[in-house]
Homo-oligomer: A and B are copies of this chain.
């Protein structure tokens, strides 16, 4: 492997470790337990999972990977706080959406070359990217990895 290939595999591994840990936590909750709150008065696990699915799903257009799979989750799990709206999907469908979105992203990241990683994401203009070339896909994926890890640490507290 070249150093540039190593970079890609390293970033992909870091993403996989975080997503797999969160997946394991979710799999250990029953559908009823997904309704529990991370701490009293805080977000339910169901909300945290919906939120991370929606934020990760936004990476498809953001990284130029095509259309979103679940834009219908934004209203409940990004635009609003927990319990403001009812859950628009069942626990079974939530689990399915989690796998679907994250697996498809993992496959896409696995195909990125070093040049792909340092390309700009779609929310930054060509001009701004020239001024700040760190607004790239790598920054988005590491940031979303940290974001998933943040909520993974919360979800496990509901156990």
Binding site for B on A (CB under 8 A): 1, 3, 6-7, 9-11, 13-14, 17-18, 38-40, 42, 114-115, 117-118, 133-134, 136, 138-139, 142-143, 145-147, 149-154, 157-158
User: Which residues on B sit within 8 Å (CB–CB) of A151?
Assistant: 153
Residue of B10, B134, B152 touching A13 (CB-CB under 8 A):
B134
Determine the distance from Cα of A117 to Cα of B117 in the docked complex, in whole angstroms. Answer: 16
- Given the interface contacts A13-B134, A39-B39, A146-B146, does A7 sit within 8 Å of B6 by beta carbon? no
User: Which residues on B sit within 8 Å (CB–CB) of A139?
Assistant: 10, 13-14
Closest chain B CB from A26 CB (angstroms): 15
